[in-house]
């Protein structure tokens, strides 16, 4: 039985207890407006779940240790209050965003609100707070984004059971005065910056995947989790050559899925790697590994698809609105202008980027993440 305390909004647990036992399907899929608390009572298990346009990663593998640590540290009430804020840091492509995403999906039922915003720059951060406001406290078009963010922070201070993920926060000044400072919820930050001392939080390094999990991931990516011993051995050699870097394994997986030949990939990779080693502009081992897998995949794209990828890479990794490209089509190369006008050609380009490059298209092809 739900007991509402005066002057206090019901917590997610209160709301769940109200609906537990009434009708499970209603609880999970239904939405009602509660006259007492109209703003927060649109009910599903997670009242608001706002993750990036791409869904849960069906190939997600391993990382049990990091996911467990995240859960333990975020829920540990015995130590200092920064345990409510965790920073995942590590090299680009190591898997920070995927871990945060998996955590959000795995624990969505533990929270009333799950919010995902980009910390790539101040404009995106504020736009993320605007999105949260539109789902919670409301906002007016005339309001300054900084003021909207302040109201959201105030709301987070007063509200329980939320998870806020700030992805790609590589420059700490972006969140100046915009970090929730409350014990009512959890904040997960992902950053590639090793210099995270500016943010009081538990710091959790993300390193390469384990040998076993890397093989598991590659075989899963190839749709062949029960591979023969021979193929498994080939996969083991590939993940080792790729230094067990998930981004590189994913690219290799997309390529092999197309060619259906694990062993050919290894030979091509080593040949292409020799060239990369000569390229002094590519510094670290990890960058060289990714550069090599990219070169191989890039070579298989049609000129138009390669051009499209080049343009997308200069825009935004999170979400690019295709209409934005259309609006500026006149400055694009002719091949892209033609493709944007011809649905069949456009579908072809999109498919090759999805298959070979693992770009994710969302919103019925209206947005793309690279």
Ligand X SMILES: Nc1ncnc2c1ncn2[C@@H]1O[C@H](COP(=O)(O)OP(=O)(O)O)[C@@H](O)[C@H]1O
What are the tokens at 301? Answer: 């794209």
**Of 260, 269, 264, which Cα lies nearest the Cα of 240?**
269
Rounded Cα distance, 186 and 161, in Å = 8
Answer for which of 10, 52, 62, 180 binds ligand X (CB under 6 A) is 62
Stretch that binds Mg ion, among 93-101, 128-136, 248-256, 319-327 (CB under 5 A): 93-101
59 near ligand X, rule: CB under 6 A:
yes
Residue 194 φ then ψ, to 5°: -75, -15
What are the tokens at 90? Answer: 């590590």
HSE of 350, CA atoms in CB hemisphere, 13 A: 18
User: Out of ligand X, Mg ion, none, which partner does residue 217 contact, by CB within 5 to 8 A per kind?
Assistant: ligand X
97 near ligand X, rule: CB under 6 A:
yes
292 near Mg ion, rule: CB under 5 A:
no
Answer for which of 46, 87, 98, 276 binds ligand X (CB under 6 A) is 98
Helices (H), 86-228: 96-106, 122-135, 145-158, 211-221
User: Out of ligand X, Mg ion, none, which partner does residue 84 contact, by CB within 5 to 8 A per kind?
Assistant: none
User: Out of Mg ion, ligand X, none, which partner does residue 182 contact, by CB within 5 to 8 A per kind?
Assistant: none
DSSP secondary structure letters along 311-369: HHHTT-SS-EEHHHHHHTGGGS-HHHHHHHH-HHHHHHHHHHHHHHH--EEETTTTEEE
Count of residues binding ligand X (CB under 6 A)? 20
Answer for which of 52, 93, 119, 185 binds ligand X (CB under 6 A) is 93
250 near ligand X, rule: CB under 6 A:
yes
Stretch that binds ligand X, among 24-32, 92-100, 152-160, 294-302 (CB under 6 A): 92-100
Strands (E) across the chain are located at: 48-50, 85-89, 113-118, 162-167, 185-191, 202-205, 320-321, 360-362, 367-369
Find tokens 């929730």 and name the residue. Answer: 180
Rounded Cα distance, 270 and 286, in Å = 15
**In this structure, how many other beta carbons lie within 10 angstroms of the beta carbon of residue 361?**
18
User: Out of ligand X, Mg ion, none, which partner does residue 62 contact, by CB within 5 to 8 A per kind?
Assistant: ligand X
Which residue number, 13 or 362, has a Cβ lying nearer to Mg ion?
362
Answer for which of 16, 41, 48, 92 binds ligand X (CB under 6 A) is 92
Stretch that binds Mg ion, among 83-91, 94-102, 264-272, 339-347 (CB under 5 A): 94-102
Which residue number, 96 or 186, has a Cβ lying nearer to ligand X?
96
96 near ligand X, rule: CB under 6 A:
yes
Answer for which of 94, 175, 218, 368 binds ligand X (CB under 6 A) is 94
Q: Could you tell me if 165 and 98 are in contact, meaning their C-beta atoms sit under 8 angstroms apart?
A: no
Task: Identify residues 207-236 at the interface with ligand X (CB under 6 A).
Answer: 217
Answer for which of 97, 214, 297, 352 binds Mg ion (CB under 5 A) is 97
60 near ligand X, rule: CB under 6 A:
yes
Q: Which residue is nearest to Mg ion (CB)?
A: 97
Binding string, residues 267-306; x marks residues near ligand X by CB under 6 A = ----------------------------------------
191 near ligand X, rule: CB under 6 A:
no
**Of 93, 133, 179, 157, which Cα lies nearest the Cα of 370?**
93
Q: Could you tell me if 42 and 31 are in contact, meaning their C-beta atoms sit under 8 angstroms apart?
A: yes
Q: Could you tell me if 74 and 33 are in contact, meaning their C-beta atoms sit under 8 angstroms apart?
A: no
Q: Which residue is nearest to ligand X (CB)?
A: 95
User: Out of ligand X, Mg ion, none, which partner does residue 361 contact, by CB within 5 to 8 A per kind?
Assistant: none
Rounded Cα distance, 141 and 93, in Å = 37
- The binding site for ligand X (CB under 6 A) comprises 57, 59-63, 90, 92-98, 190, 217, 246-247, 250, 358
- The binding site for Mg ion (CB under 5 A) comprises 97
């Amino acid at each position: 039985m739900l007991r509402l305390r005066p002057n206090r909004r019901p917590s997610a647990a209160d709301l769940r207890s109200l609906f537990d036992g009434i009708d499970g399907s209603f609880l999970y899929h239904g939405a009602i407006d509660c006259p007492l608390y109209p703003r927060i009572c649109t009910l599903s298990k997670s009242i608001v779940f706002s993750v990036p346009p791409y869904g849960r990663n069906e190939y997600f593998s391993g990382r049990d240790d990091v996911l467990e640590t995240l859960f333990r540290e975020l829920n540990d009430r015995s130590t200092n209050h920064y345990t409510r804020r965790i920073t995942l840091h590590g090299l680009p492509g190591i898997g920070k965003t995927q871990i945060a995403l998996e955590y959000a999906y795995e624990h969505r039922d533990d929270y009333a609100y799950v919010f995902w915003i980009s910390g790539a720059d101040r404009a995106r951060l504020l736009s993320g707070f605007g999105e949260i406001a539109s789902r919670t406290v409301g906002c007016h078009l005339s309001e300054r984004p900084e003021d909207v963010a302040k109201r959201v922070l105030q709301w987070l201070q007063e509200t329980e059971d939320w998870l806020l993920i700030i992805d790609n926060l590589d420059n700490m000044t972006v969140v100046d005065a915009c970090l929730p400072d409350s014990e009512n919820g959890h904040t997960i930050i992902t950053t590639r910056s090793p210099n995270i001392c500016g943010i009081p939080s538990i710091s959790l390094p993300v390193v390469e995947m384990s040998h076993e999990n890397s093989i598991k991931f590659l075989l899963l990516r190839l749709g062949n989790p029960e591979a023969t011993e021979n193929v498994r051995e080939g996969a083991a050699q590939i993940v080792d050559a790729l230094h067990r870097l998930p981004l590189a394994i994913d690219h290799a997986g997309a390529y092999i899925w197309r060619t259906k030949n694990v062993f050919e990939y290894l030979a091509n990779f080593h040949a292409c790697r020799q060239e990369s080693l000569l390229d002094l502009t590519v510094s670290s081992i990890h960058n060289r590994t990714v550069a090599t897998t990219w070169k191989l995949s890039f070579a298989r794209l049609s000129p138009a698809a390669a051009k499209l990828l080049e343009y997308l890479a200069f825009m935004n990794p999170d979400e690019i609105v295709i209409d934005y490209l259309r609006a500026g089509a006149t400055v694009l190369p002719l091949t892209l202008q033609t493709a944007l006008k011809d649905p069949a050609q456009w579908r072809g380009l999109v498919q090759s980027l999805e298959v070979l490059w693992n770009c994710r298209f969302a919103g019925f092809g209206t947005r793309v993440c690279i």
